[in-house]
Chain A
C-alpha cells in the first residue's frame, strides 16, 4: 500500500517539476554545452543563416502578343558558402492559363508547375523563364499572377551540425586577443567593484541601522539605483559625465576645482602628479567601477542591514557598560557578526561583476581601456561577427568562474574547519 503511495508521489513529483526542468535545461544548460561545441568550430555570424533557395518573380508582357506573358523567376541560393541540394520548385497558375515550351526540368499538374532543379552550389544564380498562354483567348491578369508566390524547398548542410572541429579559436583567444590585458581589466573591474560595493554597503547599513527621522524613506532611496533600469541610469550618467555639456564637469569648472574638462568615460589614462611621482590612473575604468559601485552597493546594504538588525542589542549595551567607544563597538561586535554575510556577498558579487556586460556596454562600449571579457564576447560574436571566437571567450569565462568557485569553497571550507 505504502509502496504504491510512494510511487504515486514520485510520479506526481516528476510531473510537477518536468516543465520547469525542461525549460531551464533547454534555455540555460543546453546553451552552456552548445558553447563548448561552437567554440571548436569556425563559424561566422553569416554562416548561421541556413541557406535558402529564393525566387523573385517578374511578369512581363510580350509585344504584339496580348494573350501571352513571360514570367521570369530570378533564382538564387541565399548562401555565399553552402550548396543547397535537391531544390524543389512549385508555383500556382491562375485558371485557364497554360505554359508553353516548358523547361524539361518541370511539369504541370492540375494548375501547378512543379520543377526539380537539382543541386545549387553556393552563390548560384539563374534567370528561369516560363511562357504563359491563356487558353480562352482573354488577356492574362498580370496583377493576379504577381501576387502568387512560388514555393521553394531544398536540403542543405547546417554548418553547426557537421563535425569539423578546430582549435583555432582558442589559439586566437589566448595569443591574438590581448588576453592578459582583457583578464587584468576584468579583474580590476570585478575586484574593486566588489570591494567598493561591500564597503559602501557596510557604511550605509550602519547608517540606516540607527534611529533618525526619515529612516524608512532613506532605506527606499538607497535601493533606487539597484531597482532602476540599467539603460536609463547608464544614459543619465553618460550625460552627467559628458566632458562638454555634462553637469559634473561644468560644476567642477564653475567652482574652480578643475581647469580643463575631464573626459571621464573617454580617456584611458589620467596622469596625476603625486609628490613628484607621475601616477597613471585608468580614468575610464575607474569611472565605470564607480558606476558599478553606485548601482550595486544597495544589494550589500540590504544584506548587511538584515544581518545587523538581528544582532542582539544586549551585546552593545554590555560593551557600553564596559566603556567601549563607537569604534571599538563596531570592530569587536558588528564586524564579527557580519563577516559571514560579507563573505557570501563577496562571492556572489564577484561572480556577477565578473560577468557584467550591460553597464560597461552602455557607458563606454568597451572603449578607452574598459574592455572586459563579457564585452569581448559581444565584440567577437557580433561586431567582428565571429561566433566561434565569441563562444571560445564564453568558455574561458565559465572556466574562470568554476576555478574561482572552487578556490573560494576550498578557502571557506578550510576556515570553517578551523573554527
Chain B
C-alpha cells in the first residue's frame, strides 16, 4: 500500500461525504430547520476516520454489518453530540452513510497498492460527486420555482429559507397563485394563444419544409448546392439583427400585435433547420420505392403523400417537436411584436407580469410553472425524438 494512494483515498472520500452531507443539510435548512453550520472539520475528520477504519477492518466483518456500524456511529455523533436534530434528518444522514460506506467498501488495502489506484479513486469519486452536484445545481431552480408558487407573500418575506409546504391547508389556498393567474391575469387565454401559435408554426413549417426538403434531397435543379449550403448559413443569422427591420415593416403593414404575424416569423426562422433535418432523412429512404411509384404514374404530390410521408414519421415527429419547443419558448419576437395584452403569448405575459414591481413573486413563479411544465413533459415523454432533433438541429438557442 502506498502512502500517497492512502492519503488521496481518505481525503477524496471524506470530501465526497462532506458534500453529500452538506447538500442534505441545505435541503433540511430549506424545510425550516435551524442549522447554521456545515461543521467542515468534524465531518471531514469523521469521514477520514471511517474510510481508514474501513481499510483496517477490511473483510473481517460482513460488509452490511460494517456499513450499519459506521452509519450508526456517524449519525450518533452528527445528530446527537454535535447538534440535536430531528429524527427525519438523522434518517437521511443514516441513508447517506450507508450509501457512502457501500461505495468505499470496494477499496481494500490490496487495491490501493496498485499503480493507478489513486487516479481511479479520484475518478470514481469525481463521477459520484459530479452526478450529485449536477443534479442538485440543475434541479434546484426548478424545485424553487415549483415551491415558491405554492407559498404566500407573507411566508416568503418572513423566512425566505422555508420551503416547506403546508399540505393540510385547503386545496384552494394551496393553489391560490394558480387560481389568481387564471382568473385575474387571463392565463387561460395566453395558454390558448401560445398553443395556437406553436401548433400553427409546426403545421405551417412542415407544409413548407416537406416539399422543399424533398426537392433538395431528390431532384436535380440549378442552384441546388447553393441552396443547401445557404440553408445552414441563414440559420446562423441571429434573430436580434432581424428585429428592427421586421418591427418597422410589420408596424407599417399593421401586422404587429397579430398572432398571424408572429406565426409567419416563427415559421420563417425554423424553416431552414426543418428543411435541413428532413432532407437528411429523405436521402436515407431507398430510391427504388419512388422509381416504382413513377412507373405507376404518381406525380410528386402522390410520391410525397404515399411514399415519403409514411416512411419518415420518426423524422417528421422530431422536427415537429423541435419546432414546437422553439415556438413555445420563443421570447424576443413576442416581446417586440406584441404590446396588447389581448394577444400575448405565455412568455410575453410572464414578462409583462414581472414588469409590475407590485406583482407578488409567487404569481410570477406560478406562471413560470405553467409555461415550463408542458415543454418538460413533452421533452421527457418524447425524449428519443427530441434528442435526435436537438443533435441534428442543434444550434438554435
Task: List residues of A whose CB falls within 8 A of some B CB.
Answer: 6, 9-10, 12-17, 19-21, 23-24, 26-32, 34-35, 38, 43, 48-50, 158, 160, 203-204, 207, 210, 212, 218, 220-233, 235-237, 239-240, 245-247, 250-251, 254-256, 294, 296, 299, 302-303, 306, 323-327, 348, 351-352, 354-355, 357-358, 362, 374, 377-378, 381-382, 387, 390-391, 394-395, 397-398, 401, 405
Residues B241 and A377 in contact, CB atoms below 8 Å apart: yes
Residues B238 and A355 in contact, CB atoms below 8 Å apart: yes
B265 contacts A by Cβ under 8 Å: yes
Residues B37 and A374 in contact, CB atoms below 8 Å apart: no
Of A29, A227, A354, which is within 8 A of B376 by CB? A227
Closest residue of A by beta carbon distance from B147:
A247
Least distance between A358 CB and chain B CB atoms (Å): 5
Closest residue of A by beta carbon distance from B34:
A254
Closest residue of A by beta carbon distance from B266:
A27
Extra A-B contacts (4), CB below 8 Å, given A233-B141, A236-B145:
A29-B234, A254-B36, A255-B38, A352-B396
A237 to B365, CA, bound (A): 11
Of A14, A220, A226, which is within 8 A of B383 by CB? A220
> A223 — which chain B residues lie within 8 A by C-beta?
379, 387, 390
Of A26, A240, A382, A401, which is within 8 A of B268 by CB? A26
Residues B241 and A397 in contact, CB atoms below 8 Å apart: yes
Residues B211 and A16 in contact, CB atoms below 8 Å apart: yes
With A158-B252, A236-B365, A299-B394: A35-B241 Cβ-Cβ less than 8 Å:
yes
Residues B237 and A19 in contact, CB atoms below 8 Å apart: no
Of B127, B135, B221, B227, which is within 8 A of A210 by CB? B127
> A326 — which chain B residues lie within 8 A by C-beta?
116, 119-120, 122-123
> A390 — which chain B residues lie within 8 A by C-beta?
244
> A38 — which chain B residues lie within 8 A by C-beta?
244-245, 248
Residues B241 and A32 in contact, CB atoms below 8 Å apart: yes
> A28 — which chain B residues lie within 8 A by C-beta?
234, 237, 242, 268-269
B300 contacts A by Cβ under 8 Å: yes
**Hey, what's the 0/1 contact readout for B134-160 against A, CB within 8 Å counting as 1?**
110111111011001000000011001
Residues B242 and A224 in contact, CB atoms below 8 Å apart: no
Residues B142 and A374 in contact, CB atoms below 8 Å apart: no
Least distance between B365 CB and chain A CB atoms (Å): 7
B240 contacts A by Cβ under 8 Å: yes
> B331 — which chain A residues lie within 8 A by C-beta?
229-231, 358, 362
A139 to B351, CA, bound (A): 53
**For residues 239 through 273 of chain B, which have their beta carbon under 8 Å from a beta carbon of chain A?**
239-249, 251-252, 264-265, 267-269, 271-272
> B391 — which chain A residues lie within 8 A by C-beta?
302-303, 306
> A15 — which chain B residues lie within 8 A by C-beta?
211
Residues A16 and B300 in contact, CB atoms below 8 Å apart: yes
A232 to B115, CA, bound (A): 49
Closest residue of B by beta carbon distance from A396:
B241
Majority-rule SS of A interface residues: helix
Of B215, B252, B372, B380, which is within 8 A of A232 by CB? B372
Closest residue of A by beta carbon distance from B336:
A382
> B116 — which chain A residues lie within 8 A by C-beta?
323-326
10 contacts across the A-B interface (CB closer than 8 A) = A21-B227, A27-B268, A30-B245, A48-B248, A228-B142, A231-B351, A240-B141, A325-B119, A327-B119, A354-B238
Residues A235 and B251 in contact, CB atoms below 8 Å apart: no
**For residues 16 through 55 of chain B, which have their beta carbon under 8 Å from a beta carbon of chain A?**
26, 29-30, 35-38
Of A27, A48, A203, which is within 8 A of B264 by CB? A27
With A221-B139, A230-B331: A20-B208 Cβ-Cβ less than 8 Å:
yes
Closest residue of B by beta carbon distance from A49:
B251
> A204 — which chain B residues lie within 8 A by C-beta?
130, 134
Least distance between B135 CB and chain A CB atoms (Å): 6
B12 contacts A by Cβ under 8 Å: no
With A13-B219, A229-B372, A374-B240: A250-B161 Cβ-Cβ less than 8 Å:
yes
Q: Which of A23, A50, A299, A348 has the most CB of B within 10 A?
A: A23
